[in-house]
Each structure stands twice: as structure tokens, then as C-alpha cells.
Structure 1
Amino acid sequence: MRILIVEDELGLAEALTQLLKRNHYSIDIVHDGAAALDHVRSGIYDLVLLDIMLPEMDGITILRTIRKQGISMPVILLTAKGDVSDKVLGLDYGADDYIAKPFSSEELLARIRAALRRKGEVVPEDAIKFGDIELNTNNLKLMCNGKELKLILKESKLLELLISRKHTVASKEHMIEKLWGFDSEVEHNNVEVYISFLRKKLSFLQSAVRISTIRGVGYVLEVTP
């Protein structure tokens, strides 16, 4: 899961980043409205944490703009405590939720999970299944046929991405944007290395799940007979 934080308070942005990374989310941060629009339009994010008070373009304007453009990813507004008019306006313009500063870590994580569930996304705290495998994205364990293996974080995120797309092909470009970020200079061979790691682990577990290569396009997760 990749989350975009749009927050101009540098200390708060960094604290949010550390909290969400500890909970196995991938994070990008921007500090103004114009940059936020560019990142949101990339289509690589599963959710946006959007501060209302921003330089250049406020959060409500950003929200209105992306909703008019048909961008439906979940948006949680970060608001000032007691600022009821902004909360109402944000919900009317398509925000999925809001949370008033200061807020607890537990409440924020719960609201993120709820927003992702409403959109039908895989929520990281739960084990996710495909074919005969089960991936726990909290402890990074991959289980199959009574055996389990510990994955590294990038392996887990890559497998989670493939599972979330089910039988749909994922391009290498999409994988790079999701796992390494919008402005990453990571090359295709980085993806190929992690795909190789995952194939070896699936083989070790004697799983019927296979990562198939679609030449010139990308990869797809399939279950063999």
C-alpha cells in the first residue's frame, strides 16, 4: 500500500512517515498543493492524507480538483481541531474522512484501514490469500502447505501488489512506482531481481502459485493446476 502525505509542517510530516512505515506502508511526502496534484495524478497511490492548510493551493481546492477529474482514491483530511466548516466542506467535496489535529496514532491507523476497506483494498493488518498461499503483511511471513518463510519488506510488498491485482498483468513501471516511488530512478532489473527471489520462495514452499512473465508487458500471478 502506498500513501501520499500532503503536509507542510515538516515535523508532523516526518512523524507521520515514521509511523506509517513502521506499519508497512510505503510513503511519499509533498509539502504544497501544486506538487500534491502532480503526485495524485500519477495514479500510484492507494490513499492520500491531505492537510487543509497548505501554501499555494489549499487542501479543499486540491480535493475538488481531483474529484472533478474523476480520481476516486480515498482522501483523509487533516484538519485543525474544531474547524467544523472545513470538515463539512471537505466531506461535501468528496473526502472519505477527516481527523482533527492533534490525533492519536491508533486513531489515524484505524481511519486509514477503514477508508481502504470501503474502497475494497487489501488492508495491511490482515493476512491475504491467493491460491494456496497466505501472506501476512504485518510479520512478512509467507505460508503454504503447512510451511512458512520470512520475506523481506520489498518481497512482501511486491507479492501483495500482485495479489491485489489478481489475474491482471502488472507492468514493471507500475511496480517501480508503487514500491520505490513516483520519482524513483530504480531500473527494471531491480524488479526482476525481486521477482526471481519470490519465484524461488514459492518453489521452495511447493506452491501452485506462479509468477508468469508476459513479454513486453510485465508479470501476473496465476495458479497452476
Structure 2
Amino acid sequence: MNDKISILLAEDEMVLGQIIKESLETRDFIVTHVEDGEKAFKNYQKEAPDLLVLDVMMPNRDGFTLAKEIRKTDKTTPIIFLTSKSQTQDVIDGFQHGGNDYLKKPFSMEELIVRIHALLNRVQLQKDLQHIVIGNYIFNYQKQSLNFQNIKINLTHRETQLLYHLQQHKNEILDRSFILKKLWGDDDFFNARSMDVFITKLRKKLNKDDSIQIINVRGYGYKLID
């Protein structure tokens, strides 16, 4: 299995395209370079790259049109536009057509590489947040839900936030004052009572797995034991 990141580069300026391709390959990326939008779309459908770098102005299908077509079925693969256009509206158009980033020519390769890594890290974080294991549950932070043996349990926004912080400090004490200020804005008596209610709700939603406990460490906070 190849764990390297694959990048589809669509750039009709052959010299620039080759420079970008070689520079990215020295950073251990797998890069496919094509010279027009139609070839890019066919390669995308065949190879499903991890990230796309698209020139805006290229023959057969421009970068904006290509991205718009891809976004009909794929909302997550990162897209970086390359362009010599510099007007604010051009940048806005790029994001409206599904781009995640926009790099104006001329640019440094280091800047492109930094932006690629930033987008890939963001995608990985989103994937991680969709599959957080808590005992025999799968916690999907983004969808605000728990799954237990194909049973979906919906969470409120506050329950999701509280469970996320408990999980991030799993088997450690989550400071009561810290989480109250973080989620409620104040650690006063009434907010503390409200948090106790949410803890009780989470316990009920996690009670299908006896190995999971949320214990009250009196005077300090709560601890999620898994």
C-alpha cells in the first residue's frame, strides 16, 4: 500500500507545471501533471487524488468550471487555484466555485507547499472528528452523534462539546471551572447545576457500554473512564 499523498496538477504552462511537479515530488508527493481541464477531469475520475492544484485559465475546461463539476459529487477533496488574476472578485469567484485556497502568480514553491500541508491537515482533522472511538461507541463530532452497533444517538450541541472535552482528557480529570468557563462562559452555581444535568444525559446515552463511566471527582471535576 502506498501512503504517499497524490496530487493532480492542472497547469497549461508546461515549464511552470514541470517546475511545480518536480518541486512537489522532492517533498515526497505523487504528482500527475496535465495541461488542460478535460484531461484533469478524466484523471480525477480515474485516480481520485488526495488534493488538486488547478490553474484557473486553461484550455478545454477552465479551473473554476472544473471545480464546480467536481463539487457536485465531492465536497471534501481540497482544491487550490493558481491564477495570474489579482482582482478581489476573482478570489471570491474561486471560493464560490468550491476552492479551498487561492494562490496568485508568481508565487514561491515554499508557500504552495505550506498551503498544501495546511489543507491536508484540515481534512485529516475533519476525518478524525468523524470517527472518535469511545468504548464500543463511535463519536462523530461534526454530525453531533454517537453510534452504537448501528444505532444512532443524536447529541445536542452542548452535549457534543462536553463529550469532546471529556474524551480529549480521557482517564484524566477535566477541571470543572475550566469547562464551565469554556462552554458556559462562567463557573457560577447555576451553570454548574446545568452542567451536572448534561453529564447525567451523557451517562444515559453512553450506558449501552458498561466499560464507560463518567465519574464525579468531588471538588475537582469529571473524569471519562474508557
TM-score by length of 1: 0.51
Say whether residues 1:45 and 2:63 are aligned partners.
no
Q: State the Cα distance separating 1:84 from its structure 2 match.
A: 2.6
**In the alignment, residue 52 of structure 2 is paired with which amino acid?**
V
**Structure-1 residue corresponding to 2:25:** 21
The residue type equivalent to 1:101 in the other structure is: K
Q: Is the 8 A contact 2:65 2:97 kept in 1?
A: no
1:98 alignment partner, SS class: strand
Offset at residue 86 of structure 1 (A): 2.2
What do the CA deviations read for 1:107-150 (whole angstroms, capped 9, x no partner)? 111000001011107xxxxxxxxxxxxxxxxxxxxxxxxxxxxx
Partner of 1:84: 88
Do the aligned residues in 2 keep the contact of 1:79 with 1:87 (CA within 8 Å)? no
Partner of 2:156: none
Residues 89 and 81 of structure 1: CA distance in aligned 2, closer, same or farther (over 3 Å): closer
**The residue matched to 2:24 in structure 1 has which SS?**
helix
Query: RMSD across aligned C-alpha pairs, in angstroms?
Result: 1.4
**Alignment partner of 1:65: what SS?**
helix
Aligned twin of 1:31: 35
1:192-207 alignment to 2 at 5 Å? none
The answer to whether structure 1 residue 58 and structure 2 residue 62 are counterparts is: yes
The count of residues paired between Structure 1 and Structure 2 equals 121
Alignment of 1:104-115 (within 5 A): 104-115=108-119
Task: Supply the AA of the counterpart residue of 1:120.
Answer: Q
Correspondence list, 1:121-132, <5 A: none
Task: Pick the aligned partner of 1:100 from 91, 99, 104.
Answer: 104
The AA in structure 2 aligned to 1:69 is T
CA contact (8 A) 1:50 1:59 kept: yes
Distance 1:49 1:26, change over 3 A: same
Select the structure of larger CA radius of gyration.
Answer: 2
Code of the residue aligned with 1:30 in structure 2: it is V
- Judge conservation of contact 2:9–2:52 (CA < 8 Å) in 1: yes
Q: Which runs of 5+ in 1 are unaligned?
A: 122-225
Structure 1 runs of 4+ off > 3 angstroms?
none
Which amino acid in structure 2 is aligned with residue 21 of structure 1?
Answer: E
Structure 2 CA distance for aligned equivalents of residues 27 and 56 of structure 1: 21
AA aligned to 2:63 is G
What SS does the aligned partner of 1:56 have? coil
SS in 1 for 2:71: helix
User: What's the counterpart of residue 74 of structure 1?
Assistant: 78
Partner of 2:10: 6
Q: Determine if contact 1:46/1:74 at 8 Å carries over to the other structure.
A: yes
Q: State the SS of the aligned residue for 2:124.
A: coil
In structure 2, distance between residues paired with 1:40 and 1:6: 10
Task: Provide the identity percentage.
Answer: 37
